Structure 1
Amino acid sequence: MSLKDRAKATAKNIEGKVQEAVGDLTGDSKTQAEGKEKQAEAKILHTVENVKDEVKKMID
């Protein structure tokens, strides 16, 4: 996984956690849901990059 892509996914995950926490504090279910969505997107990005890494290992 490229360092740049991993950093983007990690940043999105952190952003989602913060947004979810803000939603928890304010009682805003929409903000909570958006935060959870960002965390899910980050998990998908990490998974895609991990698969790319495994394929690359198999080819090399």
Structure 2
Amino acid sequence: MNEDQVKGQIKQVKGQVKEATGKLIGNKTLENKGKVQDITGKIQERYGDLKDDLTTSD
């Protein structure tokens, strides 16, 4: 597991917490920021997966 994969997973968790908190307190802005952070984390994790695949295929 490389650094991008770990950072991506952390961003996803933070985003999910923000999204849930936003839903709980009725704050759409916080909820949307959480969704964006979750998606950003997924992208970063996939980037890490790709890097990992490229380095292990050699």
TM-score, normalising length: structure 2? 0.86
Shift of 1:11: 1.4
Query: How many percent of aligned residue pairs carry the same amino acid?
Result: 31
Shift of 1:9: 1.5
Bigger radius of gyration, 1 or 2?
1
Unaligned runs of 5+ in 2: none
CA distance in 2, matches of 1:55, 1:35: 30
Q: RMSD of the alignment, in Å?
A: 1.3
Please list every run of at least 4 consecutive aligned residues from structure 1 whose deviation after the TM superposition is greater than 3 angstroms.
none
Match of 2:38, SS?
helix
Confirm whether residue 44 of structure 1 aligns to residue 33 of structure 2: no
What is the aligned residue count?
58
Unaligned runs of 5+ in 1: none
Residue type of the alignment partner of 1:48: Y
Write the deviation string for residues 4-40 of structure 1: whole angstroms up to 9, x where unpaired. 3332212111110110011001111111100000000
